[in-house]
Amino acid sequence: MQRTPHAGSQLLHKALATASGAAGCAFGLATLPIELPVSTIIMLRSIAGIARSEGEDLSDPEAALSCVQVFALGGRAGAADASESGYFAVRGMLAKSVTEAARFIAERGVIKEGGPVLVRFITQVASCFGVVMTQKVAAQALPVVGALGGAAVNYAFIEHFQEVARGHFTVRRLERVYGKNVVRTEYERLAQDH
């Protein structure tokens, strides 16, 4: 990714994800092994663009892993808003894994000798993201849904994860400016007021 954000890239990502969902559903469940990774990569690219726009250095492994972390933060079923989803609880659960994985990448690279730390991090993210993906697959499996339904599902998913990414990387930017404790205290105060 280039260092500077591109205007309109979030709309482009929405269009690409929507088209991916439409194409995937138009050809049925047989295309799911192709459509699901494609739409996930499009969403991850969109999340990375949001991270970059909030001042993240994507060459830093911790910042890059925080992009993947968005899938876990946004994958909690049944939560109506960020205060109910336990943002800091999920983030705290993943914090040690993100730090260890970033250190592992910085010291040894991604490919070197396995990477149990990376496997643990990916497993944690997948457990949260998997619930959401199961719901997506179920919605796309209905024959009546078809291409329009697949497009709508993907549009809803990318819009959801873009919003989660905006919130997550705004919090990270504020933490860099004001400190983690100040931001968390203010977040909890605002959550109690609502």
Token digits of residue 170: 């705004």
Q: What is the phi-psi region of residue 77: left when phi exceeds 0, alpha when psi lies from -120 to 50, beta otherwise?
A: beta
CA distance linking residue 24 with residue 133, whole number of Å: 14
Token digits of residue 57: 């250095």
Give rounded-to-5 percent helix, strand, coil for the chain: 80, 0, 20
- Reading the chain (194 residues) residue by residue, the pLDDT tens digits are 656 656 668 899 999 998 988 887 777 667 777 888 898 899 999 999 999 999 999 999 889 889 988 988 876 554 444 444 466 666 666 666 666 666 666 666 655 554 565 555 666 666 666 555 555 665 555 544 567 777 888 898 899 999 999 999 999 999 999 999 999 999 889 888 87
